[in-house]
Amino acid sequence: MRESNDGQTSGAPRVWAQKSFIASALVVAIALIGGVFVVVGSGGEEDPPAGSAEVPVEGYLPGNEDAVAVEGEPLLEGPQEIDWQLVGSITLPFSSVYGPAVDDGFTASQFERSPEGALMAAVHLSSRAGGYGPEEMWRATIEHQFIDSPERDALLELMEEQAVDVELTAGDLAALAGFVYRSYSPDEAVIEVVLDNRSGGWYSVLTTVRWIEGDWRMEAPPRGDWTAMMRQVPTADQDAVVPWGPSW
């Protein structure tokens, strides 16, 4: 498992954000977990943690081809005994059972082939691809953990080209509030990741992960634009959300 990020700095991180989001509503943009905020800078030249896998030049990160498929139903409660750790600017879940089993400092991989493992992968991949860490994080995650497709290429292009420099103060970023599990099989899971924008509003992003080459890989949104998969969660629908996050 990964070590805690002792080198994190406090204060207001400088980030990039897609112009269309910032122009319309900053609060909505803060709630998104994919393709919105991208931390400027390389994240330093520190060596990766001991035992971590090197990121390949191309192709998927190595998976666990011997992973046993766990049958199950969509989760009605969040995984327990989770170690919540700060990654970039967001707190993410880690588990010795559900994964990730490998963390190289930028990417997290080798999740359990189970409903819990799919949820862990959905949260990690969407968050790391969304720009809560340095460029090495979102780029490696999208290039090596998203399913190869025109949508993935479009997402990379948006992250690279449609950006402005934005200053955020502590507490601006949305916090994981829970999830709605739409469907699960050992080959594919559809999960709505729900976030609290810290102003009383809940927003969600619909994510899909598929089991390919020994690990869960994420499907990029249509045209690489996460707004197509985003919705505000009205109060009437919040009872359907399974509460789960670092504050629960």
Q: Taking 90 as the threshold, does the pLDDT of residue 231 lie above it?
A: yes
Query: Tens digit of pLDDT for each residue in 100-159?
Result: 999 998 999 999 999 999 999 999 999 999 866 678 889 999 999 999 999 999 999 988
**CA distances (Å), 159 to each of 133, 152, 175, 188, 242, in order?**
13, 11, 21, 26, 30
174 in Cβ contact with 203 (< 8 Å) = yes
Contact 78, 116 (CB under 8 A): no
Which range, 5-9, 28-32, 57-61, 146-150, is most confident? 146-150
Query: Is pLDDT above 90 for 36?
Result: no
Q: How far apart are CA 124 and CA 109, in angstroms?
A: 9
Give the contacts of 23 (CB within 8 A, at least 6 positions apart): none
Q: What percent of the chain has pLDDT over 70?
A: 71
Across residues 210-237, what is the average pLDDT? 95
Does pLDDT of 43 surpass 50? no
CA-to-CA separations, 85 to 2, 10, 41, 124, 245, in angstroms, rounded: 9, 15, 21, 11, 11
Q: Rounded to a whole number, what is the distance in angstroms from the first to the last CA of the chain? A: 22
At 56 the pLDDT is: 57
Question: What token pair was written down for 177?
Answer: 């509030």
* Distant-in-sequence, close-in-space partners of 24: CB < 8 Å, separation ≥ 6: none
Q: Which residues pair with residue 85 across a beta bridge?
A: 92
Q: How confident is the model at residue 88 (pLDDT cuts 50, 70, 90)?
A: confident
Give the pLDDT confidence of 186-202 residue by residue, as tens digits: 999 999 999 988 777 89
Has residue 47 got a pLDDT over 50? no
Average pLDDT value for the chain: 78
Dihedrals phi, psi of 127, to nearest 5 degrees: -70, -50
CA angle (105 as vertex; 196, 189 as ends), nearest 5? 50
Question: Above 60 in pLDDT, residue 10?
Answer: no
